[in-house]
Structure 1
Amino acid sequence: MALRDTMLEKARPHLQPGEQVQAVFGGQKISQWWLLLSVLILVFANKYRVVVVTDRRILVLAGTTWSQSKVTGVLAEVPRSVQVGPPSGLWWRCTSLGEPLHVHRRFHKDVVAADVQRPAHPSGPPPAFPPPAFPPPGR
């Protein structure tokens, strides 16, 4: 089973009935660049996160220290209208989902897919008729 499929399977209990998953990707609390300083920092300070983007909301789920595919609970629920990306670089730092989240390049296509499917009008459909245009004052 692929990593994304495993993450989605573990996240299913936290989804609402009828909620459609649009993207799922993983991240971690601290950057892997800390490995250059000390492995102990990664072992004790790092926690994995699973982000599930649905048609209704974005869920940030808590993972464990050792596995990116295990889910222990919901950390944050973000409105679906939030733009997650655009990602760049080897380890992209995402700040739009609450706590900073470091996302590896292998998940960048999932972040882009989530942003492409983001609703154009977060508060509902646009009005049927445009509002009337008033002439500028002083004319």
Structure 2
Amino acid sequence: MALRDTMVTRAQPFLQPGERVQAVFGGQKITQWWVLLSAFIVLFANRYRTVVVTDRRILVLDGTRMSQTKVTGVLAEVPRTVQIGPPSGLWWKCESLGRPIYVHKRFHKDVVAADTQRPQTPGYPPMPPGPPPVAPPSY
């Protein structure tokens, strides 16, 4: 089973009846750049987070220290109209969901997919367009 499928399966107990998952992505409590100072900081201070974007709301689920797919409870519930991204860099710091969550580059496409499915509500700006495609160099 793929990582995102496992995240959705483990998040099912926290969803309301009839709620549809639109996107799911993982993150962490602290940035991995701490490993440059000491691996023990990352090992003991870090906790994984799972963000589940549904058609009704955005859930931030608390995880364990060792597994990105195990969830232990709900940390935050955010309205679906909140824009999550746009993500950038290797470890993007997401601050729009209440607490800072560091999201790795492999999940950036999931953040963009969640934002493009966001309902447009008056007072909220639309998602800005991504950067233009870069043409490969010609030699």
Normalising by structure 1, we get a TM-score of: 0.87
The aligned counterpart of 1:113 is 113
Q: Which amino acid aligns with 1:86?
A: P
The aligned counterpart of 2:101 is 101
The aligned counterpart of 1:39 is 39
1:43-86 CA-to-partner distances (Å, cap 9, x unmatched) read 11000000000010000000000000000000000000100000
Equivalences for residues 1-139 of structure 1 within 5 A: 1-121=1-121
The number of residue pairs the alignment matches comes to: 123
The aligned counterpart of 1:129 is none
1:81-112 CA-to-partner distances (Å, cap 9, x unmatched) read 10000000000000000110000000000000
CA-based RMSD: 1.1
Q: Which runs of 5+ in 2 are unaligned?
A: 124-139
Identity among equivalent positions (%) equals: 76
Normalising by structure 2, we get a TM-score of: 0.87
Give every structure 1 segment of 4 or more consecutive aligned residues whose post-TM-superposition deviation is greater than 3 Å: none
Larger Rg: 1
